[in-house]
C-alpha cells in the first residue's frame, strides 16, 4: 500500500495520539487502583541474578511523616514489619543508619540476618530510605522505601518499597514467589494498621 508524505504524517500523528492516550489510560488505571486501596506488586529482572527485584506500591491514609516514623526506626521492625524476628540499630551518623535485621523464615529454612547501611532523606516532599548490604546471610540485599503525598490535602501517602534480596542459601522458586506475591502485600497492610496506633 502506498502512502503519500501527507498521509504518512497523518498516520504517524494518529499512532502517536493513540499511544499517548493508551499511556494516559494506563496511568489513570494505576492511580485509580491505588486510590481504591489496592496493593500493587511488580517484579523486574536483574542482570546477572536469577532472583527478580520486587516493588510493592500502596496508598496509606495518613500523612507521609506518619509513615516515615514507622520506616525509619529499625529497632521497631519486629512489631512494625512482617516476618522480622529481630532488628537492632547499630549506629546513626547524620543521614546514615546501620541496622542488623533478622528475617524469620519458615521451617526448615534458617532465619536470615543482614547488616545494612541506609541513607535516610527526610522530606517534604519525599521521605526515603535507601539501603545496601554490608554483610550477612545474603549475596545481595538492597532496596529502598519512598514515601510522598498522594493528594493535595497531604492526608494520604504513596508508599513504594523496592527490594532485591538474594540469600546465600538456595531457596525454592515457589517460596520466592510466595514472598513477592503474599508477604509484600501483607507488609503494606500491616503498616496500614501500625500507623493507626
Mean pLDDT for each 10-residue chunk of the chain (197 residues)? 45 48 60 92 87 92 96 94 94 96 85 96 95 94 96 94 87 66 86 89
Q: In this structure, are residues 131 and 144 in contact, taking their beta carbons and an 8 Å threshold?
A: yes
- Give the model's pLDDT for residue 6: 43
User: Order of strands across the sheet with 84-93?
Assistant: 40-44, 53-60, 157-167, 138-149, 126-136, 112-121, 96-103, 84-93
- Give the model's pLDDT for residue 157: 96
| Chosen CATH of 39-194 out of 3.30.530.20, 3.40.50.300, 3.40.50.620, 3.30.420.40 | 3.30.530.20
- Give the model's pLDDT for residue 167: 87
Distance between CA 97 and CA 94 in Å, rounded?
Answer: 8
Amino acid at each position: 500500500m502506498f502512502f503519500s508524505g501527507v498521509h504518512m504524517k497523518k498516520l504517524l500523528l494518529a499512532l502517536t495520539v493513540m499511544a499517548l492516550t493508551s499511556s494516559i489510560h494506563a496511568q489513570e488505571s494505576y492511580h485509580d487502583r491505588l486510590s481504591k486501596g489496592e496493593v500493587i506488586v511488580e517484579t523486574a529482572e536483574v542482570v546477572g541474578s536469577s532472583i527478580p527485584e520486587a516493588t510493592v506500591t500502596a496508598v496509606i491514609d495518613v500523612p507521609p511523616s506518619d509513615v516515615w516514623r514507622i520506616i525509619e526506626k529499625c529497632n521497631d521492625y519486629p512489631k512494625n514489619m512482617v516476618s522480622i524476628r529481630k532488628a537492632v540499630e547499630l549506629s546513626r551518623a547524620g543521614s546514615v543508619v546501620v541496622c542488623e535485621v533478622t528475617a524469620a523464615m519458615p521451617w526448615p529454612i534458617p532465619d536470615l540476618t543482614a547488616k545494612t547501611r541506609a541513607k535516610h532523606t527526610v522530606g517534604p516532599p519525599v521521605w526515603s530510605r535507601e539501603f545496601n548490604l554490608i554483610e550477612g546471610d545474603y549475596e545481595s540485599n538492597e532496596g529502598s522505601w519512598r514515601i510522598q503525598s498522594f493528594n493535595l490535602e497531604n492526608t494520604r501517602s504513596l508508599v513504594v518499597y523496592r527490594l532485591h534480596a538474594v540469600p546465600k542459601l538456595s531457596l525454592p522458586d515457589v517460596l520466592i514467589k510466595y514472598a513477592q506475591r503474599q508477604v509484600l502485600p501483607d507488609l503494606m497492610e500491616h503498616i496500614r494498621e501500625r500507623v493507626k496506633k
